[in-house]
Amino acid sequence: MPSREANGGEGERDPESFTLKSPLLASSFRSGINSTSQVAIVGANVCPIESLDYEIAENVFFKQDWRSREKLQIFQYTFVKWLLCFLVGGILGLIGFCSNIAVENIAGIKFVVTSNMMLMGRYGMAFLIFSVSNFVLTTFAAIITAFIAPVSAGSGIPEVKAYLNGVDAPGIFTLKTLFVKIVGSLTAVSGSLFIGKAGPMVHTGACIAAWLSQGGSRKYQLTWRWLRYFKNDRDRRDLVTSGSAAGIAAAFRAPVGGLLFALEEMASWWRSALIWRAFFTTAMVALVLRALIDVCESGKCGLFGKGGLIMFDISSSTVVYHLYDVPAVLLLGVVGGLLGSLYNFLLMKVLRIYSLINERGVFWKIFLACIVSIFTSCLLFGLPWLAACRLCPSDAGEACPTIGRSGAASLLGGTMRMTVSLCVILLELTNNLLLLPLMMLVLLVSKTVADAFNGNVYDLIMKAKGFPYLETHVEPYMRQLTVGDVVTGPLQLFNGIEKVKNVVHVLRTTRHNGFPVVDEPPISETPILYGLILRAHLVELLKKKVFLAEPVLTSIDAFEQISAEDFAKRSSGHIVDIDDIELTEAEMDMYIDLHPFTNASPYTVVETMSLGKALTLFRDVGLRHLLVIPKISSRWPVVGILTRHDFMEEHVLALRPNLATGRWKRLRLKLPRFLRIF
C-alpha cells in the first residue's frame, strides 16, 4: 500500500517508531534537492521569483524599534495608512476616468469616420481606415510593451494574485510597468483589441499601491520619511489588496463589487480592518469618478458618453420574474458553465501558442500583435451583419434583456468563477436588485458546472506561468506525509558567532534566503537552535562591516552605526547582491556576532507533523521559512527548513514517485475538481 510507505517511519503500526525510527527514515530523504523551478513567466518574460515574508522577525533591533515608538509615531503610522488608501483611490479614479475618455475619443473618432465612409457606401475605404488605425494603435502598444516593460504584458491579475499569495516577481510594480500598462492597454483597447478593462486596472491599482507603500521611488527622488513604517511585506500586502479592489471599482464603477472581488479572488489573507480600508479606497474611486462625470456632463470631454463602449451603461426597466423562470435560468447556468470552461480550455491553448511565439524574440511578439490586430479588424468589420441574432439567445419565456444579461453573467461565471463579486458587479452595472436571486442562481450553477471541468482562469494562468501558489486546500496525500519526508537538504547553518569568511562563502554558494543560527559549546552547554537569520540581513551586516576581531559576545550598544531601518524590507525585487561587497583578507578572517540580528523566535514544527498540518500553519500565518525541529531533543537541534516550494505538488511527487501511482494520487486525480476545492 503506497500510502503507508508514503508516510515512512511515521509508524501508525507502532507508536514507539515515532520516536525511534522516523527520524532516521526521514533523514534518508533529506538529501534530496528541491527540484521545483525558482523562476516564473512574469508578463511576457521569465524572471526569478522571490517569496515574501509576513513573519514578524523578532530580532533585537526591531524590538528596540517598537519599544522606542512614541504615540506620535503610532499616529503617523495609522494616518499614513489611511492617507495611502485615500491616494490610491483618488489616483486610480483619475486614471480610470482619463483612460476612459482617451479610449472613447480615439475609438469614437475612428468609428465615426468609418461609419461615415460606410454611409457613403465606400466600404473598402472604410475598412482600410478602420484596420489601418487599429494596426497603428496595436503596433504602438506592442512596441512600448516589448521594449520598455515586457513585464506589463498580459492581464496582470495573475501576477498580482501571486504577489498577494506571497510570490514576489521583481519589476511587476515599477513606475515603468505602471506607465506602459496604462498607455499600452489604452491604445490596445482603442485599437479594438478584445482586452478586458479589469486586468489592466487591477494591475494599475496594485502598482500605485505598491509604489506608494514602498516609500516612493528612491530612483526618482520621490520618498517620504513617514513611509518607513511600511517597509515590510505585511503592510504592503494590505495596501496592494486595497489597490486591486480599487482597480475593479474603477473598471466597472462597482465599489462593492471591487471589494468583493479583492476578497474572493485576489486576497490570500484578510482581516476585518482590511475590508474596511479596501472599502474606503473603492469609495474614493467611486466618488472621484462621480465628480469627474459631473464635470464632464457639460460636454467638455469630446465624445465621452456618446460611445459608452467601455464604461458599460446597462440600464433596464424593472423586470419581475417568477418561479417558473427558474428552470430556464438553471439551463442557462449550465450552458454558461460549459461555455466558460470551454473558453478557459481554448484560452490556455492559445496562450501556449503565444508563449511559443514570444520565445522567438521581440520582433515576433510585435508581428504577432499585428496579425492579431488585422484579424480582429476583419472580424469586427464582418460582425455587424451577424450581430443581429446575437441579442436574444434561444431561451424561452422571458424578457430578452434580462436573460441576455444573465447570457453574459453565466459565461463570466463560468470563466472567472468568482461568483459573489461578479454578481455584485453585475448588480452595480445593471442597478437592478430584483434580479439578484436569479443572477446568484445562474452564477452558482455555472460555477459548479465549470469547476467540474477546469479551474478558474487566473489559477490556470498562474499555474501555466509557474508561480508557486499556496492553496488553502489540503490534498489528501498531504496528510499521509510528514514534513520530515519532504524537507530537503543539505542544510546550511551558522554559529551564533560566525567567521566572516564562512558567511560570505555560504551566501555566494547557496541561494537560500534564511539560515538557522545554532549556538554550540562553549557559548551554550548543548547545541541550541538560537533562531533564523535572513540573507538580506546578513548582506546588510557585511555591507556595514560590523565585524569583531575575536569571537566574543557583544552587547548591542556596540552597533550604533546600525538601526532597525537598515533591516527594513527594500522595495519589491530590490536585492543587494553579495558579489557587490568588497572585503579584504583581514576582514574575511574576522567574526560576526549574529545574535542581535537573528530572529530569535522563528515558527517551528516537529518533524513528525503531517505535511498538510504544516501547510495550514504556513499558509494561515503567511510564512517564508518554517523550521523543522527533531522529535528527539538530544539530536541536532534543527532538521531543516521548509519553504513554499517544499509544499508544491511537483516537489512532493519528485521525492515520492510512488504517490503518483499511489492510491491517494489516483483518488485525487479521478475526482472531479469541484469535489476537491473545499
Nearest-approach distance from CB 465 to its own copies, in angstroms? 20
Q: Give the nearer residue to its own copies in terms of CB position, either 4 or 463.
A: 4
Is the preceding peptide bond at 522 cis, omega within 30 degrees of 0?
yes
Which range of residues in 130-138, 348-356, 506-514, 630-638 is near its own copies by CB under 8 A? Answer: 630-638
Residue 336 grid coordinates: 454558461
Cβ contact 395:370 at 8 Å: no
- What stretch of H or E contains 47? strand 45-48
* Terminal C-alpha separation, the chain: 26
Q: Cβ of 196: how many Cβ atoms within 10 Å?
A: 14
255, 337, 514, 640: residue in contact with its own copies (rule CB under 8 A): 255
Q: Cβ of 356: how many Cβ atoms within 10 Å?
A: 10
Nearest-approach distance from CB 56 to its own copies, in angstroms? 5
Q: Helix or strand or coil: residue 234?
A: helix
Report 371-390 residues binding its own copies (CB under 8 A): none
21, 479, 574, 645: residue in contact with its own copies (rule CB under 8 A): 479
**Cβ contacts of 219 within 8 Å, gap of 6 or more:** none
Residue 249 carries which side chain, given as an amino acid letter? A
Q: Helix or strand or coil: residue 626?
A: strand
The DSSP output letter for 267 is -
Q: Does 230 bind its own copies (CB under 8 A)?
A: no
Q: Helix or strand or coil: residue 173?
A: coil
**How far is it, in rounded angstroms, from Cα 571 to Cα 213?**
9
Nearest-approach distance from CB 76 to its own copies, in angstroms? 10
Torsion angles phi and psi, residue 473, rounded to 5: -70, 135
Q: Does 473 bind its own copies (CB under 8 A)?
A: yes
**How far is it, in rounded angstroms, from Cα 90 to Cα 95?**
9
- Distances 554 to 197, 236, 518, 551, 616 between C-alpha atoms, Å: 57, 34, 17, 9, 38
Report 494-513 residues binding its own copies (CB under 8 A): 496
For its own copies, what does the binding mask look like between residues 506 and 545, x meaning CB under 8 A? -------------x---xxxxxxxx---------------
Give the sign of the dihedral formed by CA 353, CA 355, CA 358, CA 360: negative
Q: Does 24 bind its own copies (CB under 8 A)?
A: no
Q: Does 647 bind its own copies (CB under 8 A)?
A: no
66, 123, 194, 224: residue in contact with its own copies (rule CB under 8 A): 66
Which range of residues in 8-16, 25-33, 157-165, 574-582 is near its own copies by CB under 8 A? Answer: 8-16
CA angle at residue 489 from 486 to 493, to 5 degrees?
A: 125
Q: Does 563 bind its own copies (CB under 8 A)?
A: no
Which range of residues in 117-125, 190-198, 383-391, 422-430 is near its own copies by CB under 8 A? Answer: 422-430
Report 264-303 residues binding its own copies (CB under 8 A): 264-265, 270-273, 275-277, 279-280, 282-283, 286-287, 290-291, 294
- Distances 546 to 235, 509, 596 between C-alpha atoms, Å: 29, 22, 12
Q: Does 558 bind its own copies (CB under 8 A)?
A: no
Q: Cβ of 355: how many Cβ atoms within 10 Å?
A: 14
28, 115, 431, 510: residue in contact with its own copies (rule CB under 8 A): 431
Q: Does 637 bind its own copies (CB under 8 A)?
A: yes
Which range of residues in 28-36, 133-141, 161-169, 437-445 is near its own copies by CB under 8 A? Answer: 437-445
69, 219, 349, 673: residue in contact with its own copies (rule CB under 8 A): 69
For its own copies, what does the binding mask look like between residues 163 and 202, x meaning CB under 8 A? ----------------------------------------
Q: Report the b/e string of 121-136 with b at 16+ CB within 10 A.
A: eeeeebbebbbebbbe
For its own copies, what does the binding mask look like between residues 595 and 624, x meaning CB under 8 A? xx---xx-xxxx-xxx-xx--xx--xx---
Q: Does 633 bind its own copies (CB under 8 A)?
A: yes
Report 568-587 residues binding its own copies (CB under 8 A): none
Q: Cβ of 263: how many Cβ atoms within 10 Å?
A: 18
Residue 419 grid coordinates: 461568483
Q: Give the nearer residue to its own copies in terms of CB position, either 131 or 232.
A: 232
Query: Using CB atoms within 10 A of its CB, is residue 302 exposed (0-12), middle (13-18) or buried (19+)?
Result: middle
**How far is it, in rounded angstroms, from Cα 395 to Cα 397?**
7
Nearest-approach distance from CB 92 to its own copies, in angstroms? 14
Q: Does 555 bind its own copies (CB under 8 A)?
A: yes
24, 120, 371, 675: residue in contact with its own copies (rule CB under 8 A): 675
Residue 606 grid coordinates: 516537529
Q: How many residues bind its own copies (CB under 8 A)?
A: 114
Report 302-341 residues binding its own copies (CB under 8 A): 322-323, 326
Q: Give the nearer residue to its own copies in terms of CB position, either 77 or 364.
A: 77
Q: Does 78 bind its own copies (CB under 8 A)?
A: yes
Torsion angles phi and psi, residue 217, rounded to 5: -115, 115
Q: Give the nearer residue to its own copies in terms of CB position, either 179 or 566.
A: 566
Cβ contact 23:635 at 8 Å: yes
Which range of residues in 344-352, 399-407, 418-426, 505-513 is near its own copies by CB under 8 A? Answer: 418-426
Q: Does 28 bind its own copies (CB under 8 A)?
A: no
Q: Give the nearer residue to its own copies in terms of CB position, either 379 or 675.
A: 675
